[in-house]
Structure 1
Amino acid sequence: MATENSDARGNDSSLWARLGWFRRSSRRTRQEELTRALIHQLSCVTDEIRHANLLQHHRITADETDRAMADPALAAVMSTLPGLSDNKRRQILYVNRRYATVMLGYRIGSYGWDELIGHLRVLGRNSVFAEYWQATSEHRRSLPNQSLEARVGRAVDVIMEELAEDPDEWWVVGPPPEPDS
């Protein structure tokens, strides 16, 4: 009989030990789930802050561009292209601002790659944009090869080549390369 009691107590102890392990395991699992959720939320907040910073930077740049377009002396400071008339310089500054706005929409997630390319196809039909794009080709050569600006630049180069070959079928041009993530 003494053996039965010690076996029963041993089984009770084993059961309590297993329950304790289960509780610790469940607690650890719950802590891991909470940590993952917290990291995800922190990542979302970080993205929102980055987007807010991009928007603020765009506002500052747009304000500077507005002032430059209104004052030829400031436009000469902002523009790096030589030999432009005041009107042409204002057009180039504005088309650069328009390009930056389209890029901003992609950067903050307002639309994806395909829609970005669609906006750029339409913009590429504009003769001032075509002139701007050609005049700034050297600027783009200085970009890091894998940067978003460089990847978009290569896609726009393809768009501009296709538009030059057949401007009447701008909507039929083949898809530019996907972004290299």
Structure 2
Amino acid sequence: MATQTPAARPSRIGSAVMVGLGFVRAPFSRGRRRRQEELMLELLRQLTRMTEEMRRANLIQQYRLSVEQMDRAIDDPALAAAMSTLTGLSERRRRQMLFSNRQYGVLLMAHRVGVYDWDELVGHLRVLCRNEVFAEYWASTVEHRRSVPDESLESRVGSVVDGMLEDLRDDPDEWWVVGPVPESRE
């Protein structure tokens, strides 16, 4: 009774074929998995870029709103008094201080969104520091900057501006060679 029925043989052959197909498919399936992993990594990179772009767009929109408010305050003395925390200023000087703040903010925003790299930002700040109104604005708002976290961009930039203004007080005729460009700690 060692004979097998013809129906049993095809199932063995079918099982062997299936096992063989598994061996043949294995490299393809590993390749498919690798391709799926590559696609997932690319999607993650794109999602990260999109998230960064959204953050930048939100930052720009928030800044746009701030600038609109500053522009209105510069145009209207009553709004300037409501926006400014500086006391004892004429309407004209308050507007100049608000405008100085706006100019500084424009440079900072340009750096934040990638328009200026660190060296370009420092170069523009050097020129801005030559302005007497800006220097007065900076001195008048020193208390405002004390609450800024030390590790923030604004704190690092503030330290650079402090150094530039000090160097300019020491030798105002050599403004273009004021010290080495401070390194960014970004």
| Count of residue pairs the alignment pairs up | 171
| Mapping 1:4-153, distance limit 5 Å | 16-153=21-158
Equivalence for 1:166: 171
Equivalence for 1:9: none
The TM-score with structure 1 as length reference comes to 0.88
> What is the rounded CA distance, in whole Å, between the counterparts of 1:23 and 1:158 in structure 2?
63
Residue identity (%): 54
Alpha-carbon deviation of 1:13?
8.4
Alpha-carbon deviation of 1:177?
2.6
Deviating 4+ runs (over 3 angstroms): 12-19
Unaligned runs of 5+ in 2: 1-16
> What is the rounded CA distance, in whole Å, between the counterparts of 1:100 and 1:106 in structure 2?
10
Distance 1:151 1:18, change over 3 A: farther
Counterpart AA for 1:141: R
Task: Please identify, of 52-61 and 118-127, the stretch whose mean Cα deviation from structure 2 is larger.
Answer: 52-61
Task: Please identify, of 52-61 and 78-87, the stretch whose mean Cα deviation from structure 2 is larger.
Answer: 52-61
Q: Deviations over 1:134-153 (max 9, x none)?
A: 11111111101101111111
Q: Which has the larger radius of gyration?
A: 2
Unaligned runs of 5+ in 1: 1-11
Alpha-carbon deviation of 1:176?
4.1
Are the aligned partners of 1:92 and 1:132 in contact in 2 as well (CA < 8 Å)? Answer: yes
The TM-score with structure 2 as length reference comes to 0.85
